[in-house]
Amino acid sequence: MSRKGGRSRDGAAGPMGAILRSHACAALAPKTPAARTFSHSFMPAPRYIGRNHGRSGERGGDQMRTRFALIVCAVLWLCAPAWSAEPLSAGAAFNLGFSPKGGAEAIILEGIRKAEKSIKVAAYSFTSKTIATALFAAHKRGVVVQVVADAKSNSGKYTAITFLANQGVPVRINSNYAIFHHKFIVFDGRNVQTGSFNFSAAAATKNAENVLLLWNVPELAAQYEREWQRLWDESTDLKPRY
């Protein structure tokens, strides 16, 4: 299974990449009178004032187009890694759900239930008793559960993250951003849940949300896990209240 989008493997991003390549090729190609007329329609040569405007102006226009083409080629080459699509692992699979009434919460619970070693949660609003209870059950069966959550959205007297902290689950809160808006979970370093779904009762029963759970995607999971670790390292421990 591979990720698909408006980009090709050569690093050219959709129609804009095609336009840039065509301009670059036109500028670097030998200039016949017809070719000059065609390329001038895209990139007119600058006008020069003086008696030597004729051929010198034409040569100057060719030089400017060549420089432009080289710059475009350099930019495309430098940006190609960021623009190119990365294939997913062989054997990758996914579950997709929506809410309300589209199985979104059930997919998250399935990911928690099947986790064997670790569950790393990044959460914005976390008030779902159902998901908190499932995480606590995973913690009790020996899975390493860790949660990092938005400080402002979870500052109430009693929330799901305070419940988890009180049960001995490691929890940290992050106040370094205007909004800590993440909603993702990494399971066992190889499965990833993401989407718009906040871990809340409203997300499950009232809101229009989506949940995507990707199975057997270790390369993708590693990128999410690196970002999760960065957020965890900069966050503050939430101490148990009893």
d(CA 164, CA 241): 11
Determine contact, residues 117/143, Cβ cutoff 8 Å.
Answer: yes
Contact (Cβ atoms closer than 8 angstroms) between residue 151 and residue 174: yes
Dihedrals phi, psi of 14, to nearest 5 degrees: 60, -150
183 carries an active-site annotation: yes
Q: What is the DSSP string of 165-226?
A: HHTT--EEEE-SSS-----EEEETTTEEEEES--BSHHHHHTS-EEEEEEES-HHHHHHHHH
Choice among 120, 181, 206, 237 that is catalytic = 181
CB 207 within 8 A of CB 124: no
Determine the Cα–Cα distance for residues 5 and 14; give it in Å rounded to an integer: 9
Does residue 188 have an active-site annotation? Answer: yes
Choosing from 4, 157, 183, 239, the catalytic residue is: 183
Tokens for 88? 């997913």
Catalytic residue, from 53, 188, 233, 237: name it: 188
Instruction: Please tell me the distance from the alpha carbon of residue 211 to that of residue 205, in angstroms, as a whole number.
Output: 14
Structure tokens at 24: 């670059």
Q: Which residues are catalytic?
A: 181, 183, 188
